Structure 1
Amino acid sequence: MSSATLDRAPQLAVEGQKVDARTWIAVAAGMLGAFMAVLDIQITNASLKDILGTLNATQEEGSWISTAYLVAEIIVIPLTALLTRVFGPRRYMIGTTALFLLFSTMCGAAWNLQSMIVFRMAQGFTGGALIPMAMTLVMAKLPPSKRAVGMAVFGLTATLAPSMGPTLGGYLSDLYGWPSIFYINWVPGILLICGIAYGLDKEKNQLHLLFKADWIGIGFMALGLGSLTIFLEEGNSKDWFDSAFIVTFAALALVGLLGWIVTSVTRPDPFVNLGLYGQRNFLVATALSAVFGMALYGSSFLLPLYLGQIANYTPMQIGEVIMWAGLPQLFIMPFVAKLSSKIDNRILCSFGLFMFGVSCLMNAYMDASTGYDQLLLSQVVRALGQPFVMLTLSNFAMQGIAPKDMPSASSLFNMTRNLGGSVGIALLATSLTQREHFHSERLGEAITSFSPAVQERLAAMTQSFIAKGIDAAAASDKALKAIDSIVRRESYVMAYNDGFFIVSAILMACILVMWLSDEVKSPSGGGAGAH
């Protein structure tokens, strides 16, 4: 790494150093920013129907509201290390938060779909930086004995926000209309700006680093990650490689990512250090972070979809179910933080992966009558497992990372998790479509007009419709459509079950991968990076 890269390397707090109130306020403000940025990824999902109605857009067009945010966010996360060195943590976080609030307000005031997509992209580009910055502040400002606490709170931002997004979005939309889901950002945003302004020292700009930056690598990175996100987010709705649009973005993603790797390897001062993937613990932690993101966002994608389509729940009712995967984590995470300093983190992570996998397996046996009461236990089990995974993976990722590489490590770790989320949603959306077709065909083979049981059911339903005053021909047609509707519903239920089973199987398999990493034993109360 060149001297330019080292100009603003974080000065790590040392063991025994007292943590004053200013530092805790700065770290807390950083966590608030990360929570806000992750929350906004999915907060639109519960309100999407209302948003599309106001903007006169179709469901397929509306998918770009989320895709635009994700594309911009995934691009800016690796850039955060460079921009932090250029502007300093204090100025950069205040500036990007102020812009995030501006673009959030513009999203709430969007007048058509095009303006909404542009503002969502700008919102993602300014808010995405807040995620790795929170992790960097923990590592730089807290001594080893306090980092477990900081990492625990950071873990909450990553796991609690996806669970609370649909809840908060549905609640606000029902009470105040969908624009309020964007305006609410002003509350945490102002607190964040005040906390960072008070808690972090002023630093001089180092604008000369912009002229020395690896702009070719940055260009390849933006092309690769942006195209890959579009490919993943839009692939299922456009039939993947049957679409020239998707093929084009797949090719652009390949060119961009390969170009990024080549420029990173050949330059002495890359804007983010991809060489960190050469460290075994970091590689295992980021790989599992991608899988965790896949499971986290994938389960948060499947369950609300099931509740809306099969159980006909309102956004508010969906939120009341999903929140049980989040709220218990507030009480579990401090307990996990204490255990992380006493028990091999591989054991803790394996336990978390197992519990998360079990919760998904519990959801793999749903039927059309499954609702709040039947789902409550699986949500609580999920809340029990997720903190064990997120905290320990953060510890593994940051263990032994040099101070100069802290921003790069934080950026790559969080980028990988978000990218895993896009992969998970794409995988499960495709699986849902294909497995529904499969189960529909299998059920169709069994339920035919020649089956005595089907004939008996059709006759009973036809008589029921005739009794309601419908003529015989229309009643017979209506009975056939009702049977077809039941078959489609059951096909979808089985497809949702298959999706949860896939997630469960992947999480269970990851327990073996976890043990490829080296043992991590933190000092008393310690977090990662203590050694």
Structure 2
Amino acid sequence: MSSTTSPSHFVPTLADPNQRVDLRTWFAVAAGLLGAFMAVLDIQITNSSLKDILGTLSATQEEGSWISTAYLCAEIVVIPLTGLLARVFGLRAYMVGTTALFLICSTLCGAAWNLQSMIVFRMMQGFTGGALIPMAMTLVMTKLPPAKRAVGMAMFGLTATLAPTLGPTLGGYLSELYGWPSIFYINWVPGLLLIFGIMNGLDAERRNWPLLANADWVGIAFMAVGLGSLTIFLEEGNSKDWFDSNFIRTFATLAVVGLVGWVSTSLLRADPFVNLRLYLRRNFFVAAMLAAVTGMALYGSSFLLPLYLGQIAGYTPMQIGEVIMWAGLPQLFIMPFAAALSSKVDNRVLCSIGLGLFGASCLMNGYMDATVGYDQLLASQVVRALGQPFIMLTLSNFAMAGITPRDMPSASSLFNMTRNLGGSIGIAMLASMLTNRQHFHSARLGESVTSLSGATQERLDQLTQGFIAAGIDPAQAANQALAVIDRIVRRESFVMAYNDGFLLMAAVLFFCIGVLWFADKARSPSGGGAGAH
């Protein structure tokens, strides 16, 4: 940074394109990627253990939804702030400090004594962990020369796609073997490795306290209110019947006011804390929007499939994890191949292949019945794993192509914020759709399964006779037969609703292939504005 550069126009130092990447730099980048993986993993890791957590904390299912909402709400708020905070404290000090606080908050989550304490600690955990996601992308873009960024971006893409699929798997295993607090305590292993890698891989930087005094605090307040309220609206809307609830209407209003205020103040300032004008760049806008839609499908599939396996197939958390992991593990072998291709092949082609495979896997899950389990789901999970690495890697390349060094922290923050918002929107849409479509299919099936139907009456007679043969009173046997038919109708209506959800995701992913080609041609990430396409 030159001596004439003001603190508010801090520009990250880029790696020398001609310099060999030393082991120390790889340590720092690997540590940053480990932090991003850990932060994304913690979004999903409580899902498979939620029943055990709620039992210990004496909370209902509806109350327990705030455990995830609190984390997501804090995480989405801190992501746009990371560029500013890294400039204030220095990259090394900020990453080490926020990781240390994340580990403390994780420990407090494992020791929570009631629901209220768990929600507060999860919010603190999200606020400290959320910063690690964009910081990892910034490290890749600033510390690696252009020739190595394809590898770095591939590993970053892996954190975005692998962590959501392995979260339920790891959470299920740890909860069953060591109890649910272990899903929080396990963070100490990657957390300490991260601190060690950053301390040894990055140089200390001067503090830049004047930035705090000159920061756009009005814009930051609007952003926090807008994004926080939007996350609460999306996460809690379905359980509270959306706009029929005063609570939801209030947060919808706050979200609109906050987001409009944030955009307005950012456009009026010459040096906003995050540069929203990046959305006006065609490549960045297309990449961010597709990242949001991919986030919908990525988190949506990780939301629907465990629900189906638990509710319809009756799987334990550990069994669910054994199915879900097949959408993750093959990515470890595909990602190096995707990285090598990304610098040689038009990324629009690679991303189209990824979207097509991901959409095909959702299509394969769109025709399930109540007997579908591990064996039948294995193929679709592997197809999903083959497609996902091509998507996030190439979208990251599109988003960062031609971005100047000064805007790299903003681009990283906005790209990851948009992707996470897409995940929240996708889960909210699918949860609402699941409820509505289940009611619809239940009503349609109910029109056919009536006492006037010969097939229904024959099945009722068979069930009744079976219960009587087992020694049950005839009147009670008839009631039990009716209950069995009712459960079958409900089960089938849920299966059909799950199928509708997967078919919707498939349609959206296939549609995205067409949208993708509005972006300009790109290959490997460019640095410092060079190589923009």
Fold match by TM threshold 0.5: yes
4+ runs deviating over 2 angstroms: 2-5, 526-530
Match of 1:6 among 6, 9, 31: 9
TM-score norm. by structure 1 comes to 0.98
Q: 1:163 aligns with which of 151, 162, 165?
A: 165
Give the drift of 1:15: 1.8
Structure 2 Cα separation of the partners of residues 462 and 530 of structure 1:
76
1:310 alignment partner in structure 2: 312
Report the TM-score, using the length of structure 2 for normalisation. Answer: 0.98
Q: Which residue of 2 aligns with 1:505?
A: 507
Report the 3-state secondary structure (helix = DSSP H, G, I; strand = E; otherwise coil) of the residue aligned with 2:274.
coil
Q: CA deviation at 1:530?
A: 5.4
Aligned equivalent of 1:81, options 67, 80, 83: 83
Task: Return the offset for 1:84.
Answer: 0.7
Aligned partners of 1:422 and 1:143: how far apart in 2? Answer: 34
- In the other structure, the counterpart of 1:37 is 39
Q: For residue 290 of structure 1, what is the aligned residue in structure 2?
A: 292
Which amino acid in the other structure matches residue 355 of structure 2? L
User: Which of 256, 264, 277 is 1:254 aligned to?
Assistant: 256
Following superposition, the deviation at residue 6 of structure 1 comes to: 1.8
Distance 1:45 1:330 in 2: 23
**Equivalent AA in structure 2 for residue 346 of structure 1:** R
Equivalent residue number for residue 95 of structure 1:
97
- Contact 1:395/1:528 (CA < 8 Å) preserved in 2? no
Matches within 5 A, 1:191-202: 191-202=193-204
CA RMSD of aligned residues (A): 1.0
In 2, distance between residues paired with 1:323 and 1:499?
A: 20
Q: Which amino acid aligns with 1:237?
A: S
Deviation at 1:16? 1.7
Residue 22 of structure 2 is aligned to residue 17 of structure 1: no
Work out the CA distance in 2 between the residues paired with 1:17 and 1:133: 22
Q: Quote the offset at 1:14 in angstroms.
A: 2.9
2:218 matches 1:206: no
Please say if residues 73 and 127 of structure 1, whose CA atoms lie closer than 8 Å, have aligned partners that are also in contact: yes
Whether the aligned pair in 2 keeps the contact of 1:10 and 1:404 (CA below 8 Å) is yes
3-state SS of 1:254 partner: helix
Match of 1:221 in 2: 223
Distance 2:8 2:338 in 1: 35
Partner Cα separation in structure 1 for residue 528 and residue 389 of structure 2: 15
Compute the displacement of 1:527 (Å).
Answer: 8.4
Q: Distance in 2 between matches of 1:227 and 1:528?
A: 35
Q: How far apart are the structure 2 equivalents of 1:25 and 1:62?
A: 38
Q: Does 1:125 align with 2:127?
A: yes
- Residue identity over aligned pairs, in percent, reads 76
Q: Distance in 1 between matches of 2:508 and 2:239?
A: 24
Correspondence 1:49-448 to 2 at 5 A: 49-448=51-450
For the 8 Å contact 2:404–2:528, the answer to whether it is kept is: no
SS at match of 1:209: helix
Extract unaligned runs of 5+ from structure 1: none
Paired AA for residue 5 in structure 1: S
Find the aligned partners of 2:106 and 2:115 in 1 and give their Cα distance.
15
Equivalent-residue separation in structure 2 for 1:460 and 1:324 (angstroms): 41
User: Residue by residue, what CA displacement relative to the aligned partner does 1:468-501 show, whole Å, maximum 9, x if unpaired?
Assistant: 1110000000000100000000000000000000
AA partner of residue 61 (structure 1): E
| C-alpha distance in structure 2 between counterparts of 1:280 and 1:149, whole Å | 24
The aligned amino acid for 1:191 is L
The residue matched to 2:325 in structure 1 has which SS? helix
Which whole-Å CA distance do the structure 1 matches of 2:159 and 2:90 have between them?
23
Distance 1:65 1:472 in 2: 47
Q: Distance in 1 between matches of 2:159 and 2:26?
A: 16
Which residue of 2 is the match for residue 46 of structure 1?
48
SS of alignment partner, residue 271 of structure 1: coil
- 1:398 and 1:528 in contact (8 A); partners too: no
Matched, 1:458 2:446: no
Contact 1:145 1:527 survives alignment (8 Å): no
> Aligned residue pairs: how many?
527
Amino acid at match of 1:247: R
Question: What is the CA-CA distance between 1:5 and the residue it aligns to?
Answer: 2.6
8 Å CA contact 2:70, 2:123 repeated in 1? yes
* Residues 40, 160 of structure 2: 8 Å contact kept: yes
Contact 2:235–2:424 under 8 Å retained in 1: yes
Q: How much has 1:3 moved relative to structure 2?
A: 3.3
